[in-house]
Amino acid sequence: MELRGRTTLLTGATGGLGRAIALAMAGRGARMILSSRKAAELDELAAALPGDGHRCEVADLAEPGAALELLSRSGEVEILVANAALPASGRLQGYSGEQIQRALRVNLEAPILMAHALLEPMLVRGTGHMVFVSSLNGKVATARSSLYSATKFGLRGFALGLREDLRGTPVGSSVVMPGTIRDAGMFADSGARMPRFLGTGTPEQVADGVVSAIERDRGEVEVAPRLQRLLANFAGRRPEIAGRVAARSGGVKIADAVADHQTGKR
């Protein structure tokens, strides 16, 4: 699907990954509807994008009804990039019931509800694409990720299942799965460090993955160094072995460091 001239709704636009995605898509000629909770940052981002016709819609997707209310203000949407997410890391017993509901609503419920509302209009118009930004944690569950992985496993399954329902139609569904990203994003914001041999990706690579998913109609795009991808796919098949190795090699300490820095973002 060509991006030029397409009206694109991007959630989580003011985060590090969202900014990179917005710049990449606007650079390909898309008209962006930028959404996040931060009005001033949205205005600054819209002004920095190439092209014109971009606009901003402030929304807190953790609030009940916010996802559909955002769509009602957005008008016709030809491409959806569901990028907004809460970190949702840490031990489950450290969460309140309200915090669990917020994570489920932002990371999983909101993308599903928006896809449901947009699907029929896209089919009637005969064009459209939806991209769901998951994570390699949508393939492998690690320590301190029970809630986050639940949402990312679910989002991956939803995107791929929807893709099968749409096979043979002019509407596409893709899932983009970043690994550990440096410079911006949830892991970078936590201040934790990964072992050097695992490598890291960049926000720009995630943005390129989103563009590729739309333009080439790719079902699943992993954005991570080769070793991370290999280990994630192994862990998805052999979770018990992978969990024991991670526990012995310092993976749990890294997970604790990430969770400690993300507690205030629930």
pLDDT digit string (tens) for 176-196? Answer: 999 988 877 555 565 556 666
Selection from 193, 90, 251 nearest residue 242 by Cα:
251
Residue 265 pLDDT greater than 90, yes or no:
no
Report whether pLDDT(11) > 90.
Answer: yes
More confident residue, 180 or 210: 210
Q: How far is CA 62 from CA 81, 87, 187, in A?
A: 17, 13, 21
Structure tokens belonging to residue 136: 């390699």
Band of pLDDT at residue 266, cut at 50, 70 and 90: low
Q: Among candidates 183, 159, 184, which has minimal Cα distance to 171?
A: 159
Edge-first strand listing for the sheet containing 220-223 = 55-58, 31-36, 7-11, 79-82, 128-133, 171-178, 220-223
Per the annotation, the verdict on 148 as an active-site residue is yes
Decide: 123 and 140 in contact? Cβ < 8 Å. Answer: no
pLDDT for 240 beyond 90 = no
Model pLDDT, residue 243: 84
Residue carrying the six token digits 């109609």: 217
Please give the Cα distance from 103 to 73 (Å, whole number).
23
pLDDT in tens, 91-120: 999 999 999 999 999 999 999 999 999 999
Q: How far apart are CA 103 and CA 151, in angstroms?
A: 8
List residues bridging with 11 in a β-sheet: 35
Tens of pLDDT, residue by residue over 123-156, are 999 999 999 999 999 998 888 999 999 999 999 9
Residues in the chain: 266
Question: How sure is the predictor about 175, in pLDDT bands with cuts at 50, 70 and 90?
Answer: very high
Interval 3-12 mean pLDDT: 98
pLDDT reported for residue 170: 97
Going by the DSSP 8-state scheme, the letter that residue 194 receives in this structure is -
In this prediction the pTM is: 0.90
Q: Sort 52 into a burial class: Cβ within 10 Å, 0-12 / 13-18 / 19+.
A: exposed
Residue 96: phi and psi, rounded to 5, are: -85, 165
Mean pLDDT across the chain: 91
Longest dimension (CA), the chain: 54
- Among 148, 153, 158, 187, the active-site one is 148
Inter-residue contact 260 to 156 (CB < 8 Å): no
